[in-house]
Amino acid sequence: MQRPWFRLCWQFGCCLLSLSILAGCGGGGADSTPTPPPTPQNVAPVPGANTFQLNEDSSLQAQLSASDADNDALSYQLTSQSQAEGLVTLQSDGRFSYQPTADYAGEASFSYTVSDGKNTPVAATARLSIQNVNDLPVAQLQQFAGTEDVAAIFQLKATDVDKDPLIFTLQSAAPANAGVTVNPAGEIHLKPLANLNGKIRLQVQVSDGKGAEVAFQTEITLAAVNDAPTLTVTPLPALLDAGSVYPLQYGIEDVDGDAVVLSHTQPELFRLDSAQTGAGLQVLARTTALDTELLLQATDSQGATAQYKQKVLVAIPNGNGMGRTLVGPVQSNRLNLVIVGDGFTAAEQQKLREAAVKFSQVFFNSKEIGTHRDGWSLHVLDAVSAQSGADDPSTNTLVDTLFDGNFGCAGIDRLYCVNSSKVFGYVFRHYPQFDFVLVAGNSSKYGGAGGSISTFTLHQSAADIAIHELGHTFAQLADEYIDDANAHLYLPGYCENCYANITQLTDLTQVKWRHWFSDPSQVPTQPGQAGVGLFEGGYYSSKGFYRPKNNSFMLALGQPIGEVNGEAWVNQLYQNIGMYHSRQPQQQQVVQARGQTQQFSFALSVGSAQQKVQWYLNGQAMPQFDNKTDISCCQDQQQNYQITAVITDISGLVKASALVSREVQWHVQIQ
């Protein structure tokens, strides 16, 4: 700003500020031109802060800001951006739109310049803060395949861009009883309703646990399969008579509506006369009893089957129908054991037969007996008493029975006895070939006896009692239990060679069962020790008598028979039936025409599984005939010769050399 006095000086061309300065004013001094004031400088624009905020997955429309001191018009230009976060569109007037990348949340920016058209454009950056927004889970229709009646597990799938853990919930299923559950992890557990096939439709909800939920559908398609028919059968009697017909009541259903045929798989045993709701089962005639399994089968038109199985014993009735063979053939070279009952009324004969069947099962289940099963024929014989039960002095009970069965024999309460003469006479009329008789008493009281006839009662341990008593009657075994109070009563009847299982000898080299010692230098003698040894106590006495095992069935019911007792059992079997029968030629002396073959044969008494055969010609082995029971040979023999067949028990139950083998010999004279 010029001061007033300065304007005055300038107007009149001089100033009197200083004489020396103004001396030439208006005079002859030189003239001077004045300098104009400088032009003002244009100022560049200034960008604003330009910070913005928006939500994930939403767009932004906004205006960039800048200031200009000269109030010049401003223009904007985009210079760079990162498209990974989003996309910006910038207008020259500073208006812009921003679209963030889908599901992106975080910081973003773009660069631009602002210009007033007069200065160099000014670079600046706009910054955006994109706020996270919880996203909905994403799920689509899913389809699974399964099979009718087959359980399965399927896995549902859904995604969440926020990586939130997802929770699945089953909302509905059609059909409602399809047997479907869904756990929170999205596993579909299918335990389908029986016979269900086709589509199962599920409505499922998936949640991220933060309030975002989506419902979706899924389908399970169950492939149909052919269902087997169902077969229900009213059980038959466990004992079936060969040659008889039994009504067979059964029911068949097939959910697929297929035609179904009932059949059986044993045409050699049974014949089936089918009817709509029942059938007649004919048990074919045969000569040998058979413990078998009846198998009935229902088969639909597509081959699917249902089966019914029942254990049955096919028995062979005797001529008058009162007796039945339960094991083996009716007429045989086997040992014939007949079971007969006392105290069973006419209405209780089936009870007797069932008791005999149970005994047979336990009897032959024992290794020492069952191994030689083929040496036995077992029969049950009906015997009708006027009254049911047995005489029992301890309860003052008197019963009218066929064989006078009674407890308290010889003053011993549990000793059950019968009239032996009546029993033998009755059995002989029906089974004259019998070897031993076992009498079942119709009482649940514990009892039995051994002797010329073995007896047992229908106590819960009936079969074990019977086997123990047969140990006396059949195998000639002594009791091994101790009864010191009554031991003196039995001492007069003892002899060293009478019983295979009791000895008074302590010299191990003389003990009758020494061949069973596994180590003669370490023979078991103490209670609880295993193996065959010399255990004190037996024949009712705690001292002075010895038994071969720590325990056996002759000491306590239900115990194993044991090696020594088992050998005695096998020995008695061979003593009764031999190791062979039906030899041909029957005579030991045979005449053979020179140059002709001669046939020799026999039948093994218990079968090739337990017996081996070796043949010898004049003492020389003929291995080509090993284990044959029928040979033809010796046409080349010019002189008399001897043929020997050696039969050896290979069951392992017999070790005594005198018991193991038997010989069959023929002396042949050549003519």
CATH assignment of the domain containing 440: 3.40.390.10
pLDDT in tens, 165-202: 999 999 999 998 889 999 999 999 999 888 899 999 99
Instruction: Based on the fold, state whether residues 169 and 211 are members of the same structural domain.
Output: yes
Q: If residue 506 lies in a helix (H) or strand (E), which one and from where to where? A: none
3-state secondary structure of 424: helix
182: DSSP letter: E
Asked which of 576, 607, 626 is the last residue of a domain, the reply is 576
Instruction: Based on the fold, state whether residues 300 and 426 are members of the same structural domain.
Output: no
- What pLDDT is stored for residue 653 in this prediction? 95
Asked which of 286, 317, 348 is the last residue of a domain, the reply is 317
Instruction: Based on the fold, state whether residues 106 and 204 are members of the same structural domain.
Output: no
pLDDT in tens, 34-89: 777 777 789 999 999 999 999 999 999 999 999 999 999 999 999 999 999 999 99
Percent of the chain scored above 90 by pLDDT? 85
Neighbours of 311 (CB within 10 A): 11
Q: How confident is the model at residue 274 (pLDDT cuts 50, 70, 90)?
A: low
The closest of 291, 323, 547, 293 to 430, measured between CA atoms, is: 323
The closest of 518, 523, 489, 486 to 505, measured between CA atoms, is: 523
189: domain CATH number is 2.60.40.60
Domain that holds residue 253: 230-317
Q: How far apart are the C-alpha atoms of 412 and 296, rounded to whole Å?
A: 51
Taking residues 106-123, report their average pLDDT. Answer: 95
Helical residues (DSSP H) of 141-269, grouped into ranges: none
Asked if 399 and 343 count as a contact pair (C-beta separation under 8 A), the reply is yes
Q: How confident is the model at residue 278 (pLDDT cuts 50, 70, 90)?
A: low
What's the 3-state SS for 592-608? Answer: ECCCCCEEEEEEECCCC
Q: What is the mean pLDDT of the chain?
A: 91
Instruction: Based on the fold, state whether residues 444 and 312 are members of the same structural domain.
Output: no
pLDDT in tens, 293-338: 999 999 999 999 999 999 999 999 998 889 999 999 987 789 999 9
- What pLDDT is stored for residue 195 in this prediction? 86
The answer to whether residue 33 sits within a structural domain is no
- Asked whether the predicted pLDDT for residue 7 surpasses 50, the reply is no
Instruction: Based on the fold, state whether residues 64 and 91 are members of the same structural domain.
Output: yes
Q: How confident is the model at residue 569 (pLDDT cuts 50, 70, 90)?
A: very high
Residue-level length of the chain: 671
- Asked whether the predicted pLDDT for residue 372 surpasses 80, the reply is yes
Q: How far apart are the C-alpha atoms of 208 and 115, rounded to whole Å?
A: 49
Q: How confident is the model at residue 27 (pLDDT cuts 50, 70, 90)?
A: very low
Within 8 A by CB and 6+ apart from 304, the residues are 226, 227, 228, 229, 258
- Asked whether the predicted pLDDT for residue 526 surpasses 90, the reply is yes
Domain count for the chain: 6
The answer to whether residue 219 sits within a structural domain is yes
Q: Roughly what angle, to the nearest 10 degrees, separates helices 462-473 and 349-365?
A: 70
Tokens 């597509």 belong to residue: 302
- What pLDDT is stored for residue 331 in this prediction? 79
